[in-house]
């Protein structure tokens, strides 16, 4: 089991999303049972509470990274980028339950119990995922690829500078959509090295796509046998891995990145002090 993803054959699912679904199912089931015991109809609270939690979690994230959404505000509605602030979502749920309690609504006890059950399951799941993380830090693997400019690049030699490794393929729609975001981030963060490692495609296909996207040929690597993704335990595309200057894996994003979620993950890798010259690409 990977600490962040559940792999079922060709299907790869994020544990965070599954935990949120299980938390809602457990909370809503308890809520409905308590209402039936009290002789009350289920009512809309289970759905309304879930919507309040999700809306608050998304809104808090969007407000935190408002500058990244400013150029295209409508993209804030695209939740495929995985941008959430869970603590604020649960806080909104507590406010919802608190209002029902202050108004002495008949469903207040059931709502509070359902919210507590969902929150406890979610917290327990988060703790389990944290404990499932490997005790030995994951570091840059000793893997070597050939860039489109015909130079060999060995990942283990890149220690000393923050590194972003994007696993992608040209046939993957979310990979194509996030390319401009990654390219812009590369231009905005010269202290961070960005590498695009194509998984399993022919060199001529990768070269044509990279030139169309304006990707630097020195930063686009070929992985014809998809070895790197298998070695790191990430088969889903796109997957972006964030390594600190100490070569340790600091964060992983499986799925499409937006400018905001990319900024969130980049914040986890601290660039070295800007003294002297930066390493050459």
Q: Dig out the tokens for 133 from the structure.
A: 């993380």
Residue recorded with tokens 């015909």: 150
Please state the three-class secondary structure of 135-155 as a single string.
CCCCECCCCEEEECCCCEEEH
Predicted pLDDT of residue 280 = 41
Angle at the Cα of 55 (from 49 to 57), degrees rounded to 5? 100
Compute the average pLDDT of residues 104-116. Answer: 95
Predicted pLDDT of residue 130 = 85
Q: Dig out the tokens for 279 from the structure.
A: 């390493």
Would you kindly state where each structural domain of the chain is located, as residue ranges? 5-132, 144-266
Q: What are 245-271's pLDDT values in tens digits? A: 999 999 999 899 999 999 999 999 965
Q: What is the pTM of this model?
A: 0.86
**Is 144-266 CATH 3.20.20.60?**
no
Angle at the Cα of 250 (from 274 to 258), degrees rounded to 5? 85
Q: What are 167-204's pLDDT values in tens digits? A: 999 999 999 999 999 999 999 999 999 999 999 999 99
Distance CA 121, CA 31 (A): 14
Task: Give one word for 53, left, alpha or beta, with left for phi > 0 and alpha for psi -120 to 50.
Answer: alpha
Distance CA 108, CA 14 (A): 32
Strand partners, 152: 146
């Amino acid at each position: 089991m990977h600490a962040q993803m559940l792999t079922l054959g060709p299907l790869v699912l994020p544990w965070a999303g599954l935990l949120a679904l299980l938390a809602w199912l457990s909370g809503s089931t308890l809520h409905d049972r308590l209402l039936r015991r009290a002789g009350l109809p289920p009512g809309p609270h289970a759905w309304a509470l879930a919507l309040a939690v999700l809306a608050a979690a998304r809104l808090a994230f969007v407000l935190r990274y408002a500058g990244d959404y400013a150029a295209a505000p409508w993209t804030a509605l695209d939740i495929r980028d995985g941008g959430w602030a869970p603590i604020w979502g649960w806080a909104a749920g507590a406010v919802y339950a608190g209002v029902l309690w202050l108004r002495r609504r008949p469903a207040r006890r059931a709502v509070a119990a359902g919210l507590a059950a969902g929150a406890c399951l979610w917290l327990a799941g988060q703790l389990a995922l944290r404990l499932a993380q490997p005790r030995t830090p994951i570091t840059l693997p000793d893997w070597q690829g050939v860039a489109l400019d015909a130079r060999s690049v060995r990942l283990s030699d890149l220690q000393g500078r923050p590194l972003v490794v994007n696993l992608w393929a040209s046939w993957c729609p979310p990979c194509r959509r996030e390319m401009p975001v990654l390219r812009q981030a590369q231009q905005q963060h010269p202290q961070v090295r960005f590498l695009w490692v194509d998984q399993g495609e022919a060199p001529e296909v990768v070269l044509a796509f990279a030139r169309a996207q304006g990707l630097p040929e020195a930063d686009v690597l070929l992985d014809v046998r998809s070895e790197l993704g298998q070695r790191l335990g990430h088969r889903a595309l796109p997957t972006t891995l964030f390594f600190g200057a100490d070569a340790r894996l600091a964060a992983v994003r499986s799925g499409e990145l937006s400018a905001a979620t990319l900024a969130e993950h980049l914040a986890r890798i601290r660039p070295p002090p800007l003294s002297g010259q930066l390493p050459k690409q």
